Amino acid sequence: MDQYTELKQQLLERKHYLEERLQETDEYGLNRPFADDLASGELSQYDNHPADSGTELYEREKDLALGYKSREEIKDINIALQKFENGTYGICEVTGKQIPYERLEALPTARTIKEASPNQHTSTLDRPIEEDVLSDMEKQYYTGSVETEYNEENAYQIVASFNENSMTFEDSSLIDNEDGVGYVEPYEAFASTDMYGYSGDENIHFERNIQYDQWMNQQNVNEETLFDNEENIFDNQQ
C-alpha cells in the first residue's frame, strides 16, 4: 500500500476541507427554516415581491444540492478510508480485480474498475428537444465537405429567419448567400498556428482549402487592378 500513501493523504485533506466547509456555512444555511426572515436577510417577508421569494427559493435549492453533494463525497471518502484499514483499497468490488493506479489518481474514491462502473451509459431520457432539431439541421446541411457543413452562420440565419422585422437592411447577414465557416476576416479560415498560438509571422501556416483559393484569387485580382491603374497613370503622364 506504499504507493497509495499519497492518495490516502489526498482523501484525508479533502474530507477535512468538506467538513470545514459544512461547518463554516452552517450546512449551507440548511439548519435554518426557509421561512425564517434571518435566512434571507430580510426583517420581514410581508412586502417582498414574488420574484424575490423565487430568488430565495432558487438559492435554497442550490444549497440543498451543494450540501447533498458534500455529504455524499464525505461518505465515499469514509468508505475509501475504511478500505485502507482492512486492506481492500484499490480492489474492484464487482470483479475483484486491481483498479488501475491511474484511475485511482483521477478518482481516489473509485470502488470499481472502469468496465464495471455503474456510470457507463448516458441517459437518453429528458434530453433537451433542441438536440433533435440541431441533429436534423446537421443532416440537412451536410454535403461531405468540411467547408460547407452546418456551422454557426447557418444557425444564426435559421434563427434570424423567424424574425419578421421589416427593417432588415440590404446586404445584411440574413440574406447573405455566402456559406462562411464562422470567421470574421477571410484569412482566418486558412491561417493557423500550433498549440502554443501566435509566436511570430514566420510560424503561421496556410491551410490549402477553398477559402485560401478564394483569398488568393482576390489578391491576384487586386494586383491586376493595381497594375492596370499604374499603367494608366504612366500613359497619362507620357
Q: What percentage of the chain reaches a pLDDT higher than 90?
A: 22
Q: Quick: pLDDT tens for 87-117.
A: 899 999 999 999 999 999 999 999 999 888 8
pLDDT for the residue 217: 86
pLDDT for the residue 177: 46
pLDDT for the residue 154: 65
**Structural domains of the chain sorted by starting position, each given as residue range(s) with its CATH number in brackets:** 2-116 (1.20.120.910), 129-237 (no CATH)
pLDDT for the residue 229: 76
For the chain, the DSSP string reads -GGGHHHHHHHHHHHHHHHHHHHHTTGGGTTS-TT-HHHHT-S-STT--HHHHHHHHHHHHHHHHHHHHHHHHHHHHHHHHHHHHHT-TTB-TTT-PBPPHHHHHH-TT--S-GGG-S--S---TT--HHHHHHHHHHHHH--S-TTSS--HHHHHHHHHTT---TTPPTT-GGG------S-SSGGGGTEE--TT----GGG-EE--SHHHHHHHHHHHHHHHHHHHHHHHHHHHH-
Q: Quick: pLDDT tens for 117-168.
A: 887 776 666 777 777 776 666 666 555 655 555 566 667 777 777 766 555 5
pLDDT for the residue 122: 67
pLDDT for the residue 182: 56
Q: Is the predicted pLDDT of residue 176 greater than 50, yes or no?
A: no
